[in-house]
Structures are given as C-alpha cells and as structure tokens.
Amino acid sequence: MRRLARVFTHHPRLSLTATLGAPVMWLLVVYVGSLLLLVVTAFFKLDTTTQKPTSELTLDNINVAFTTSAFAWTVIRSIGVALSVTLLCLVIALPMAFYIAKVAKPWARRGLVVAVLLPLWGGYLVKGYAWRAMFSPGSEFSASGGGGVLDSTIGWTPGFGQTALVITLAYQWLPYMVLPIYAGLDRLPASLLDASADLGGRPLRTFRSIIGPMIVPSIAAGSIFTFSLSLGDYIMPNIVGGKTQLIGNLIARTLLAPNQPLAAAFTLWPILIIVVYLATMSRLKAFDNL
Amino acid sequence: MRTSRKIGAIGLSLVIVLAACGSDDSSDSTADSTATSDAASSTDAPAGTDAPTGTEAPGGDPTAAPTELGEGEGELNIIAWAGYAEDGSTDPAVDWVTPFEEATGCQVNVKTGNSSDEMVQLMQTGEYDGVSASGDATTRLIAGGEVAPVNTDLIPNYADVFEGLKLQPWNSVDGVAYGVPQGRGLNLLTYNTELYTTAPDSWSEMFEPSSAAAGSVSVYDNAIYIADAALYLMATQPDLGITNPYALDQAQFDAAIELLTQQKDLVSQYWGSFTDQQAGLEDGSVLAGTTWQFIVNLALANGAKIDAIKPTEGATGWSDTWMISSQAKNPNCMYLWMDHIISPDANAQVAEWFGEAPSNALSCDLTADPEHCSTYHAEDEDYWTDVWYWETATEECLDGRTDVACVPYTEWVNAWSKLRS
C-alpha cells in the first residue's frame, strides 16, 4: 500500500490519470457510447407486428424524419420557440444582472443572487402547473367561477399556446441567463464605466462600446442553457402549450409508439441543431466563461 | 519511457473502472441470487422452470406456464393504468396495494402507463413483472413474446370471472389464457353541464364546427383515437362502408384523418396524461372531450361541473387484462397479484374507483354503491354491442375483408404524429 502511494507521489501524471480515468471512461462509454447507439438505431427497420427493431438496415426512418414537411415545420417551430425564449430571457436578465452587479449595495448582492436562484429549487412540474393556473383562459364554466390569475386580475390572457409556452419556458430558465451575465458584469471593473462617463460617454454609448462587447461571451454562455433546455423540452408544451408541439414531443410520442428507430432518426434533428448552435457560440467565446 | 508510463496509467485506470463495475455487479448479483434462489425453490417441479423466462416463441404451448407456485420474491414491478394500483397516496381511503403487500410480503412498485403504446414500450424493456394491458396492447405483447401464458389453475379467483370475458381473442391464443381479465369500460363523451343544459347525445359535439363547445374540445392524444373518428364516420357516412373502426382500408383511413384534421380547429388541447384532462375540466377550458370515468370522478370531486355519457353512435372502449412478463423476475409475486387484483374485494374497489365494469361476478355484491354493477352494465351484454374495444389494426383486415389491405397500426402512429405536428 505504502509502495503504491510512493509510486503515485513520484509520478504526478500517473495519479492524475488514475483519478480522472474512471470518470473519463464513464463519459466515453455512457455518454458518447449511447449517443452513437442512438445514431445507429436510426438505421434499423421496425418489425411492424412486434414493434421492435430488427437487424435489417434501412434509410426509410431518416427519410421520413428529414423530408416530411409536417415534421420539418415542427423543427422550425421548436427553433423559433427556443430562440424566442432565449431573447426574452436576455431582455429580462440584462437589467436584472446589471442592477445586481453594479447598482445594488454589496451587502444586498448575495441576497439578490439567492433570490434569482430560488425558483430553481421549486419543482419544475409545480412551476408548470402554476403557469397553467396563470394562463387559463377566462371561462364562465370553471369550477372556481372564473378564468386564470391573469384573466381575473388584468382581464387578458394569451390562453394556452405558443405565447404561453414561451413565457413559461423563459420563466423556467431565466436564472441560467442571469447568473452568467451577472458573473461577467461582476468582473467588469467599475473604473471602466467611470472612465467612459468622464470622457463624456452617455449611458447608452457606454453600454454599446464598453459593457456590450465585454459581456457577449457571458450572454452566449447563458443562451446555450436557455436555447438547449427549451429545444429539448416536451413537458411544458403539454401543460401550457395547448396544441403546440415541439420536436421533443414528436420524439417522445414516436418512442412510446413504440417506434425506436424512427424516434432515433428524429433525435438527429436536435443533435444537429445543438452542434451548429454550440459552434456559433464558441466563436463568440462562450466557453471561455464557463 | 513516457509512453510506457502513459500505458501504465491507462492500465491502472482500466483496473479502477473494472473494479467499480465489479462492485456494481456484485451488488446486483446479490439481489439476483436471492431472486434466483427463490425461483429455483419455487420451480423444483421440472415443468415449471421455463415459465418465467422461457416463453419467447409467440403463442407458446400451455406447458410453459408454471404448474405450482413458490414463495413470493418480496418485490413486484408492474405497469398499470392510472387508478388501477392505488396504494393510498391519491386518497388514503383508496388502497388495495398495502393489504396485498402485508399479506404476501411482495413490495409493489407501480409505473403508470398513459397509453397502450407506452405500455408496450415499457414491457419491451423486460424490467417489469406484469402489466394491465388493454386489447390493443395485449395482441402486440403476445406477438412480440413479451408476455407468457398463464396457468389459471394457480389463480383461484379466476373461477369467478364472467365467462364472457374469458379466453377472448385479445387475452388468449388457441384456448390458452395469457392473463386474467380486470374489467372493461368505454371512452365517454364528457361535457360541461353549465354549457350543455340538456345533455348532448352525439360525438358531433367533438367533430362538427357547429358544436357548442367549438374551440374548447379536448381529445385523447394517441393514434388509437383515429378509431373514434372512424366510429363517428360509421354512423354519419355509411357509404364509406366502415364496419369495424379498427379495420380501415386506405380510403376509409384517409376519411378519418380528414375528419380529424377538420376537428383540429375545434380543439383546445390534446391530453396525453389524465392530469391534463382533469385540469382542463376543472378550470373550464375544456367544455367537451373524450374521457375515462376515472377522470370525471376526480374532477367532480374537485367541483368541476361536468357529466359524461355514451353517445348514440356507440363508443370505443377497452377490456383490460393483467398479464405476466415472459421475463418476469418475480413470477410468484405476479401470480399472487393477479389473484389479488381479481379477488372480489379488490376487483370491486378498482371497478368503483376507476369507474368500470368489474370482471369478477362476486365483486358486484361488494361494491360500496350496491347499484355499481348495473350502472356500469357489468352483466348486460347488450350494452356492449356498440362498444368497440381497443384493438391493434393490422394489414390483414380485422373485419374479415380479404379483397383489400387495411392500414396497419404503425401507419396510424405516423399519421397521428403528422396530424399533431
């Protein structure tokens, strides 16, 4: 035992490998391995009687998944929803993060950061059904005698659908946007803002020339969370989305059909989209910030 | 020198990985060994050894079912429709799982299935001991070798099951039972009683633009719902010649899809999980829809102003069967469960809680509502003549036509996915 310890002390590289080896292997086998299996599954033919994949190979699944216009629209809608959620999160998160990092008194910052994080500790489904109660369209027929919270307070609600879905998802993922931007702003020396003001820069100009360029990587990092989490969501569409379907719903529906090969073919869509998105974000130096 | 060091490092990390896997394996194998030793003790009789694991060939011979039961394995993993295996967590007074656990020592883990498709998918994983399958799942499960024949002699309560439910096409092969009947019911038309002061009597409320509930219709989100459209066409467009909503040739199928596309404008939500339908009925956003009695009961308890009926066109429905997995790790507990769940006492409780007709004739004397069996037409075969139990559409038409090919269920699924996209 002691000899083994000595070997590790004298060979730091060896001890590093021993420490990281298992997790790396785990990542390779479980994560990359299962992804590869997924891709391979897309090429198997389905036995229509037993609904299990056979060993026969076919391109039909890929064909159906990538050339059917109805499914292509679902993909486009999913990207649209994910981008809208990201944009909405950004618009809300920017002033929030700026206030917390630069305006709030130092003693209040910690409390505000906790307040931003707090919703993450609540159940995802609980928040979903809470928003359902908010958006519920006005109806004289409800058990409680009125519409949802929005309808009974401000007299208007978007009802269940794409708008409600975007708002709900933006609420769910907002902290993932606020925190990276806050961290980016926190690193930004206050003296730069002062210097800009001293040189006659108005707030808008300061934001455009100083703050903006410096927090682009933070925004990109936050958007990776909001975009990918929205793109993959298939629970919220059922709760507040009305008839709206995202690519995740299509995959879940096909997997449960059960038609494993076609479901695997559909999953190639989000994989491709995320790869493109990550590549774009990495050009914006998003990963320097994680 | 450096490479050799690297190789050594990789080797060591491999050893660590293997060690980790090894320890996983050993913990698994302890669990397995207790199970197998139980199974071994239960299957001293040579004829019984194949039963839990062996029957892979569809329609296997009856001798593959065990001839005697051993001790319970201490655990049971089942897939059930919502409301079929209540352990008091929904309502403390509604509990027929705990008494079973106390009597047999089989700890029950329930996985709720939201559709027949999902149940087939879950059973394919081989991780469950049994399932409460509707007729459209049972045929697929039998064909896929997912479930095993059942020796009904080992299930004393089977003797009291209504004869009309035994050895039906969806729960047997060549006179060999593939499970025990649980009960039957139908997919009802639910409606808001404030909107409909007189009860509607037709599915047109869900299909026609003239419906009073237009814009607030809720539809079961599953390919099997295509049969509901076909059923409506059976009554409204007789020239299509549909005689069985699960046997649709291409022209009939296209007509059903067209009707469903037209329906989309009336729909406010498609429900996949019963909780979404229940929420819609309670908050008044759903004014008409397809439903199970179970959902109506839950929503009524929360103050929803609704009711449900069987329309004049008839309805789709289900006849459910508890089946044992061909890969069951706890076959003895599953046999004990199948006997328990169709016992008059438990069967009566499920039937009342879910709102269905029980399968055990003796259940009718034990329901809290003495009228339950007559309300749900448990013994009234005439009532069921226009109820079309869920079935799996196959290329070979189920209505016996041989001059055309019917649209198989996998195509139903694709069409439904497209419709919903």
Two tokens, residue B76: 């049971």
Please write the tens of the pLDDT for every residue from B290-329.
999 989 999 999 989 999 999 999 999 999 999 999 999 9
Test mutation, A60, A253, A259, chain B, max B CBs within 10 A: A253
Q: Are B76 and B108 in contact (CB under 8 A)?
A: yes
A141 closest CB neighbour out of B121, B192, B408: B192
Q: Which residues of chain A lie closer than 8 angstroms to B6, CB-CB?
A: 13, 17
Q: Among A114-118, B41-45, B296-300, where is mean pLDDT lowest?
A: B41-45
C-alpha radius of gyration, chain A, whole number: 24
* Confidence grade of residue A145 (pLDDT, cut at 50, 70, 90): low
H-state helical runs in B134-292: 135-143, 204-207, 226-236, 250-263, 274-283
A143 pLDDT above the threshold of 70: no
Two tokens, residue B242: 């549909």
**B62: preceding bond cis by omega (within 30 degrees):** no
C-beta atoms surrounding A163 within 10 Å:
17
Two tokens, residue A69: 């216009």
Report how far residue B296's alpha carbon sits from residue A14's, in angstroms, rounded to the nearest whole number. 65
Please write the tens of the pLDDT for every residue from B243-272.
999 999 999 999 999 999 999 999 989 998
pTM of the model: 0.79
Report how far residue B212's alpha carbon sits from residue A175's, in angstroms, rounded to the nearest whole number. 43
Q: What residue has token string 């509607």?
A: B200
User: A49 vs chain B: nearest CA distance in angstroms?
Assistant: 7
Please write the tens of the pLDDT for every residue from A244-255.
999 999 999 898
Amino acid at A15: S
H-state helical runs in B166-214: 204-207
* Confidence grade of residue A157 (pLDDT, cut at 50, 70, 90): confident
* Residue A14 bridge partners (DSSP): none
Q: Are B224 and B317 in contact (CB under 8 A)?
A: no
B282 closest CB neighbour out of A143, A254, A255: A143
Nearest to A150 by CA among A175, A167, A126: A167
CA atoms within 13 A on the CB side of A89: 33
Two tokens, residue B67: 């001839």
For residue A126, give the 3-state DSSP assignment: helix
Two tokens, residue B334: 């599953």
Nearest to B329 by CA among B24, B46, B26, B72: B72
